[in-house]
Amino acid sequence: MTEAQIYEKLTVLFQDIFDDDHLTIHADTTAGDVAGWDSFNHINLIVSAEAAFGIKIQSAEIEELQNVGQFVKLIHHRLAAKG
Amino acid sequence: MPSNPVSPPDDDTWPYASQTLTFDWPAQERFARWSGDRNPIHMDAVYARRTQVGAPVVHGIHLVLWALEHLAATQPFTVHSLTAKFKAPAFVGEHLDLEVGAGAAGKRRIRVQGGGRTLAVIQLNADVSPSAEVAVLAAVLPGQWPETPRLVTQEQMTTQESRFELLEDPALMRWFPHLCTAIGATRVAALAGLSRLVGMICPGLYSVFNDVELAVVEPLPFDPTQTASAPLTFRAISYDERFRLVRLQVGGAGIAALLGAYLRPSPVQQPDCAAIQQRAVVSTRQFVGATALVVGGSRGLGEVTAKLLAMGGARVILTYAVGQQDADRVAEDIRRHGGDCEIRQYRIGDAPIVAAQDGTAVTHLYHFATPAIQGRRETLFQADVLTDFNRFYCDDFHRCCEALSAHGHPVRAFYPSSVAIEDPPVGWVEYAMSKAAGEVLAVELGRRLPRLQVLVHRLPRTETDQTLSMRQATAMPALDVMLPLVQQMQATV
C-alpha cells in the first residue's frame, strides 16, 4: 500500500472519529489542528487504524508520534514488514 | 407511524421526543433508577470534579434512548441493528441538540450535539451487523447486580463474565412509548441495562463507555409492550492493556451486542502524612511559628502542601470549595500525625481569610484554587474559558493578597504558575494565558503592596487529578515538586 493510499484510508477514519465529512489531513496535521482531538479520541484513532490496516503499534511508538505524516510513515513501515 | 401503546405520564412532560433537550438532575436520577447505573461520574458532582472531565456526565445510553425515541415518534421506524459511539461527554445541565440524517441503504444517522461539537453518533441499519451476531454465552453463570460500582483491576478484566436479571420498571414504557412499540420494551430495558453493565460491573467504577454495536435478535421472548424479567449475559472477550480498553460480548433480552469501554485512570492519591514523615523530608520544627493559608488544600498540590507544612510544625488553614469530605480526610491525616489544621469552606469571591479562628494572623499564602483545567474545547480559543480561569488565577489571588497586606502583618505568598506558558498542551491555551497574566500580577503585587513578598514559580506537569489523561503522560510527583518550594517559602520564618 502506498502512502497516498494510506492517507486516503486514514482520512475516512479521521472523518468518522471526528464526525466531520469534510475533514482533510496532511503530513503536518497535528492534534491542535483538529477540533476534538483529545487524549480519548487519540486512542480511538489508533485503535481504529490498527483494525483498519491490520497492524499493531507499540505504546512507545504512539507516544512519539508528532503529526499525521509520522503516523502514515509508521503504518507504511508496519505494512511493508508484514509483506 | 407506530401507535402509542400507553399514555405519557401526567405528572411530567419531559420532552424525550423533542429535538433539543437539557438533562437535569431529575433526569439523571430517573435514568439511574431505570437502568441501575449509579456510577458517581453521573450522579455525584463532587466526585465527578476529580475525574478527567471535571463535571457530572449524562449516561451515554440515556442519549441513545432519547435519540431513538425522537426518531420513533417522528418517522416510521424499523431497526435490525445499530451502532452508537460516544465521542465526548455530555454534561448535566448542558443544552443538547439532535440532528437526524438519512444515509445509504436505509441507514439513519443521528448526531447528539452540544457546544458546537458532536458528542455521540447513533447509526441505525436495516441489516444485521455480522460482528454483533447472537452471542454464545450459554455457559455463563448467574450473578448479582452490585449496589455500588465494582472496582475491576486490569488483571481481573479478561475474567469478567456473568448473567443478570434486568430491572423491571414500567416507567420506561411511559417515557419511551414509541421506542417500546418499535423494538419492544424488553429491548429498551436491555439497552438501559448496558449502561448498568459498564458503569457498575465491567469496567465498573472507573469506566468510560465508548461504543456499542447492537443487533436485534428474534424472537423477542416477551410481550413487546411490557418489560418482563429477562437475563442479560456478558463476557469480556478482550482487554488491550495499552489503552485499557475492554470489549464485552452481551446477549439476551432480544439483543446481541459488542461493547467497548475504557478503564479510565483513578483519582490521584497523594502521599499521606506517614509517608512524608517516613521520608523525613521536613523536620517537625522546621516551620514552627508560621500560620499558612492553603487555598484549595483538599486535594492535589494544595493537599501535599498542607501536609508538608503541618508536618514541619506550621499551623495550617486549609480551604475547600465543594469537597468537604476530601478536606476532612486531609485534616484528619494531619491531626493524626500531630499536625495543627483548621478547615474552612472558601469559594472564590468570598471574604478573604486573613487569620485563624483564634485571631492568629496568616503569615503565608499558598493559592491553589482552580477550575477544571481539561474541558471540551470547541475552538482554539474561548474568551469565556479565559475569563473563568482569570477569576481564579488573577482576581482571587489579587483579593487574597490585598486583604492579607491590609491586615498589617508581614506575609509571603506563593503563586503557582506553570510551564504550560512556554508550551501549552492542546486545549490548554486559555489556562496558559491566564497563568501568564497571573505571573505579571503576582510580581506587581509583590512590588506594590506593603508587607507582601511573592514567590512565583512555573510548576512542571505534576501528578494531580487535573493532569489525568487516557494517554501515558509524564508527570512529576506533587511531593517532589512542592517540597523545595515550601522550604523556600518558609525559609525566613
Q: How far is CA B47 from CA B39, B67, B375, in A?
A: 10, 28, 16
Could you tell me which chain B residue has the CA closest to the CA of A37?
B426
Instruction: Report the pLDDT value the prediction gives residue B472, as an integer from 0 to 100.
Output: 62
Higher pLDDT, B53 or B398: B398
Q: Name chain A contacts of B426, Cβ cutoff 8 Å.
A: 30-32, 37-38
Higher pLDDT, B481 or B75: B481
CB B393, CB B434: distance < 8 Å: yes
Instruction: Report the pLDDT value the prediction gives residue B125, as an integer from 0 to 100.
Output: 83
Residue B153 sits at φ, ψ, to 5 deg, of -85, 165
CATH topology of domain B273-490: Rossmann fold (3.40.50)
Grid coordinates 477544571 are at which residue?
B372
The two beta strands, B117-125 and B340-345, are: unpaired
Rounded Cα–Cα distance for residues B300 and B463 (Å): 8
- pLDDT digit string (tens) for B122-139? 999 866 554 544 445 666
Q: A68-82 vs A3-17: helix axis angle to the nearest 10?
A: 120
Q: What share of chain B is helix, strand, coil (3-state, %, to 5)?
A: 35, 25, 40
Q: pLDDT confidence of B471, banded at 50, 70, 90?
A: low
Q: How many degrees, rounded to 5, is the angle at CA B285 between CA B283 and CA B286?
A: 65
CB B88, CB B35: distance < 8 Å: no
**Grid cell for residue B190:** 436491555
CATH of region B20-263 = 3.10.129.10
pLDDT greater than 60 at residue B5: no
Report the candidate in A45, A58, A56 with the shortest Cα–Cα distance to residue A9. A45
pLDDT greater than 70 at residue B308: yes
| Single-letter residue type at A36 | G
Domain A3-82: state its class. mainly alpha
Question: Complex ipTM, two decimals?
Answer: 0.90
Instruction: Report the pLDDT value the prediction gives residue B8, as an integer from 0 to 100.
Output: 40
Rounded Cα–Cα distance for residues A32 and B423 (Å): 12
What is the number of alpha carbons within 13 Å of residue B444 lying toward its C-beta? 9
- Largest interatomic CA distance in chain A: 35
- pLDDT digit string (tens) for B230-265? 788 999 999 999 999 999 999 988 899 999 999 998
Handedness of CA B45, B48, B54, B60 (dihedral sign): negative
Round to the nearest angstrom and report the end-to-end CA distance of chain B: 78
Q: Does B363 touch chain A (CB under 8 A)?
A: no
The answer for B469, left when phi > 0, alpha when psi is -120 to 50, beta otherwise, is beta
Domain ranges of chain B: 20-263, 273-490
Number of Cβ within 10 Å of residue B100's Cβ equals 16
**Grid cell for residue B128:** 444485521
Instruction: Report the pLDDT value the prediction gives residue B492, as an integer from 0 to 100.
Output: 62
Q: What percent of chain A has pLDDT over 90?
A: 67
Average pLDDT over residues A16-28: 93
Average pLDDT over residues B406-427: 94
Q: Is B444 helix (H, G, I), strand (E, B) or coil?
A: helix
Q: Name chain B contacts of A55, Cβ cutoff 8 Å.
A: none
pLDDT greater than 80 at residue B103: no
Indicate which of A40, A45, A59 best probes the interface with B, i.e. most B CBs within 10 Å of its own CB: A40
Instruction: Report the pLDDT value the prediction gives residue A31, as an integer from 0 to 100.
Output: 87
Q: Is B96 helix (H, G, I), strand (E, B) or coil?
A: strand
CB B135, CB B194: distance < 8 Å: no
CA-atom Rg of chain B in angstroms: 26
Instruction: Report the pLDDT value the prediction gives residue B463, as an integer from 0 to 100.
Output: 87
Average pLDDT over residues B6-33: 76
pLDDT greater than 90 at residue B26: yes
Q: How many degrees, rounded to 5, is the angle at CA B59 between CA B54 and CA B64?
A: 135
Q: Find the range with the poorest average confidence among A35-44, B19-28, B353-362.
A: A35-44
Q: What percent of chain B has pLDDT over 70?
A: 88
- pLDDT digit string (tens) for B40-77? 999 999 999 888 888 999 999 999 999 999 999 988 77
The rounded mean pLDDT for chain B is: 88
Domain ranges of chain A: 3-82
**Grid cell for residue B189:** 430495558
- pLDDT digit string (tens) for B85-99? 999 999 999 999 999
Q: How many degrees, rounded to 5, is the angle at CA B108 between CA B107 and CA B109?
A: 125
Could you tell me which chain B residue has the CA closest to the CA of A40?
B470
Rounded Cα–Cα distance for residues B171 and B140 (Å): 30
Q: pLDDT confidence of B170, banded at 50, 70, 90?
A: confident
Average pLDDT over residues B199-212: 96
Residue B411 sits at φ, ψ, to 5 deg, of -140, 140
Interfacial residues of A (vs B; Cβ cutoff 8 Å): 17-19, 30-32, 35-44, 46-47, 58-59, 62-63
Q: pLDDT confidence of A74, banded at 50, 70, 90?
A: very high
Q: Does B261 touch chain A (CB under 8 A)?
A: no
Rounded Cα–Cα distance for residues B26 and B111 (Å): 24
Q: Find the range with the poorest average confidence among A31-35, B378-382, B451-455.
A: B378-382
Q: Does B117 touch chain A (CB under 8 A)?
A: yes
Rounded Cα–Cα distance for residues B308 and B314 (Å): 9
- pLDDT digit string (tens) for B313-350? 999 999 999 999 999 999 999 999 999 999 999 999 99
Q: pLDDT confidence of B194, banded at 50, 70, 90?
A: very high
Q: B383-390 vs B429-448: helix axis angle to the nearest 10?
A: 40
Rounded Cα–Cα distance for residues A12 and B414 (Å): 49
Instruction: Report the pLDDT value the prediction gives residue B380, as an integer from 0 to 100.
Output: 79
CB B273, CB B339: distance < 8 Å: yes
pLDDT greater than 80 at residue B378: no
Indicate which of A44, A46, A55, A67 best probes the interface with B, i.e. most B CBs within 10 Å of its own CB: A44
